[in-house]
Amino acid sequence: SFTGSVGVGRNIAIQCVTNHKKVQLEMGGKNPQVVLDDADLAQAVELSVQSAFYSTGQRCTASSRLIVTEGIYPKFIEAMKARMAKIKVGDALAQGTDVGPVSSKSQLNQDMEYIAIGKGEGATLAAGGELLKLETDGYYMSPALFSESAAAMRINKEEIFGPVASVIRVKNYEEALATANDTEFGLSAGIATTSLKYATHFKRHSQAGMVMVNLPTAGVDYHVPFGGRKGSSYGPREQGKYAQEFFTTVKTAYTLA
């Protein structure tokens, strides 16, 4: 049972199949958070901030693509900037800290490289993305938000695994769903809406293993199946009865009475 990168996971799968071993893989994600025009703005902003930046964005279920319909887009950007200004970055063990340091120097360098890539691709750095020097040693940066990004940009295709999110403007729900599914990954997805019609349709047609409605994409209960589709997962789900079955060898025995 492996959790990590797609490349390593594929190599493990090859070895396991060759040697007739069970294999369970949880790999990358480029999870979408859809925000529709009818969404509660405050709720949509809060769940987007938590999904994208809490745990320093270093969760496989974190949302790094915020797909927002054009009617609510301007208000969403401004509200996100205002909310992000209140995020406290600091020692992860200190009371009141919202976002701790990045896990390592190499990961921090990767985060900053992707911020440079986003700028080079033409996206607008709307907030954050700065290196921070704090009293406590650590690899600190302010969470970064890109606006005016396009779905084809690298920052919207490749997993960054840090507190970096980008906003993609779309016309309507149909384009939002298509954009959300336009990825090689399929772990977690979310939608912010007050429409039962769109919420129900998204739960059915989102190409992800886990779907959230008006909730952050990161964070699931331990008793429910955990896993995704496409390049995100391979083999049985983790957690719950699926994990129990994975770690069990089934034997059928007959006895003549």
Structural domain contains residue 175: yes
At 33-56, the pLDDT tens digits run: 999 999 999 999 999 999 999 999
Structural domain contains residue 46: yes
Known catalytic membership, residue 158: no
Range scoring the smallest mean pLDDT among 74-83, 114-123, 135-144, 233-242 = 233-242
What domain count does the chain have? Answer: 1
Given a cut of 80, whether residue 219 has pLDDT beyond it is no
Q: What is the 3-state secondary structure (H, E, C) of 150-215?
A: CCCCHHHCCCCCCCEEEEEEECCHHHHHHHHHCCCCCCEEEEECCCHHHHHHHHHHCCCCEEEECC
Structural domain contains residue 251: no
Given a cut of 90, whether residue 228 has pLDDT beyond it is yes
C-alpha 249/C-alpha 150 separation (Å) is 47
Task: Check which CATH number belongs to the domain holding 129 and give it.
Answer: 3.40.309.10
Pairing of strands 188-192, 210-213: parallel
Structural domain contains residue 16: no
C-alpha 82/C-alpha 247 separation (Å) is 47
Number of other CB atoms surrounding residue 55 within 10 Å: 16
Known catalytic membership, residue 70: no
Structural domain contains residue 238: no
Per-residue confidence (pLDDT) for residue 253, from 0 to 100: 97
The one catalytic residue in 16, 60, 175, 238 is 60
8 A C-beta contact, residue 69 and residue 170: yes
The one catalytic residue in 26, 46, 135, 238 is 26
Residue 212: domain span: 34-217
**Can you state the angle between helices 73-84 and 41-53, rounded to 10 degrees?**
60
At 197-218, the pLDDT tens digits run: 999 999 999 999 999 999 999 8
At 54-93, the pLDDT tens digits run: 999 999 999 999 999 999 999 999 999 999 999 999 999 9
As a whole number of Å, the end-to-end CA separation of the chain is 40
Structural domain contains residue 13: no
Structural domain contains residue 239: no
At 125-148, the pLDDT tens digits run: 999 999 999 999 999 999 999 999
- Is the pTM higher than 0.75? The answer reads yes
Residue 193: phi and psi, rounded to 5, are -165, 155
